Structure 1
Amino acid sequence: MGSRENILARIRKAQGRAGGEPTEAEFEMIRTAMREHEIGPLPGIALPPDQLAQFRSECARQGSTYTEVAGYDDVPREVVAYLDRNALDKRVVLWAELANLDWAGAGVTIDNRTAQGDDRVGVTGCFCAIAETGTVLLLSSPSQPKATALLPETHVCIVRRSRLVDTMEEAFAMLRNERGEPPRATFFVSGPSRTADIEQTIVIGAHGPYRVHVILVP
């Protein structure tokens, strides 16, 4: 028995539950509780009517840069423009779903694999984006490795306009409706990584990218 299985077995034994794995009845009880769970109190402040303006404003407040393009075919050219503005090499590691864009025509070398420690720029999509906080929600999977968003010092995130919602509660509802059970890892990105753990001094890029660039496509 591996360490994970051993720990879970001990927890179940302490709870007086037999067997090493949850039963289908237990899984269904959890699913039912998630479906019927009421949304908690929401902030009393109404969001501005312009959802896109709210998202753009919050991106700026969180430290993300932001741009819009006319379509997916324009993404490589916008990535090149961003790399040029920041004096970065034209080499990126990206999710497989983006590999068929014309990166070579834009002058970008791509690595279609999971990011490694020496990669400098990661390009990903996202599950959805949240206007209220300027946040993007990413879900991990073998074809959408979280390392590509977290390891490189620069994260470029492609957001579809149809996947922009107002609040985090709406993002969770979309996740439940479309995916049912969440994947192994879900993570919210609200601007560059930062911490003030040491002497209350803000340090950018402490636990992840210190640049986040959002590209919105129709």
Structure 2
Amino acid sequence: MDTSDARNRIFARIRGAQQRPAELRETEHAAAQDYLAHHPSGPRPALPDDLVAHFILKAEALATTIARVPALADAPAAVAAYLKARELPTDAIAWPTLSALDWAGAGCHVEFRKPHGTDLVGITGCFCAVAETGALMMQSGPETFASATLLPETHVAIVPVSRVVAGHEDAFALVRSERGQLARATNFIAGPSRTADIEQTLVLGAHGPYRVHVILVDGA
């Protein structure tokens, strides 16, 4: 469902209540960009030089599992090995951005579409990964739909090591430099979904996948 029109009407009403024009003026956009460029960053923890190793450490602490491959072409075999080792189905849905990879040759049947209720495995890329927290940053789009990370019980993310950044500040800066603005849905995935709302008992898979597995790609 496209909610852009409803969102724009809401923003227009807010701006009207502030006695501002319904559409964002160019001067307002420039002022916001200037503020972001010159506003000093807050204090940040020191991180080791090896951001990838730190990301792995933090991600595993969140119950994310990790595999590492030398090249993007090796990712399908790594995904198949993970699924078979855990006796999970090798039928999956995936982002269309991954359609050029040889999934059939690795023994996986992959459809490049949004998930249905019966799809158990979702395979995606990610916008970037955050070493400080072990989280994955997702930016939604026509070929990078957020539902692939939320609906299937198992989420497998393919992450180039070149897209591992130090902190969340760096992740947002990367969005601004590469895309200009945040996507309609910006999600940070920090391990499997979990809740302890009922009797303080930890339950996985409450609001999303039971499993998150990351394939780190060295040559990408």
Partner of 2:155: 155
Amino acid of the structure 2 residue aligned with 1:49 = D
Please list, as runs of the form range in 1=range in 2, the aligned pairs for 1:181-196 lying within 5 A after superposition: 181-196=181-196
So what's the TM-score if we normalise by structure 2?
0.90
- Would the aligned equivalents of 1:116 and 1:147 in 2 still touch at CA under 8 Å? no
Listed as ranges, the gaps of 5+ residues in structure 1 are none
Deviations 1:66-110 (A, max 9, x none): 010121111111111111111111111001111111111111111
How far apart are residue 51 of structure 1 and its match?
A: 2.3
SS of corresponding position for 1:187: strand
Listed as ranges, the gaps of 5+ residues in structure 2 are none
Partner of 2:35: 33
Equivalent of residue 20 in structure 2, options 6, 9, 17? 17
So what's the TM-score if we normalise by structure 1?
0.91
Is 2:116 the partner of 1:116? yes
In 2, the alpha carbon distance for the partners of 1:137 and 1:131 equals 11
Distance change in 2, residues 1:104/1:3 (3 Å) = closer
SS of corresponding position for 1:74: helix
Amino acid of the structure 2 residue aligned with 1:84 = K
Partner of 2:104: 104
- Would the aligned equivalents of 1:194 and 1:202 in 2 still touch at CA under 8 Å? yes
SS of corresponding position for 1:172: helix
In 2, the alpha carbon distance for the partners of 1:188 and 1:73 equals 26
In 1, the alpha carbon distance for the partners of 2:202 and 2:76 equals 32
Distance change in 2, residues 1:5/1:186 (3 Å) = closer
Counting matched residue pairs gives 214
How far apart are residue 5 of structure 1 and its match?
A: 4.5
SS of corresponding position for 2:213: strand
In 1, the alpha carbon distance for the partners of 2:94 and 2:126 equals 12
More deviation, 82-91/194-203: 194-203
Amino acid of the structure 2 residue aligned with 1:140 = S
How far apart are residue 3 of structure 1 and its match?
A: 4.7
In 1, the alpha carbon distance for the partners of 2:146 and 2:179 equals 18
More deviation, 126-135/208-217: 126-135
Is 2:137 the partner of 1:137? yes
Distance change in 2, residues 1:5/1:73 (3 Å) = closer
How far apart are residue 169 of structure 1 and its match?
A: 1.7
In 2, the alpha carbon distance for the partners of 1:40 and 1:75 equals 37
SS of corresponding position for 1:83: helix
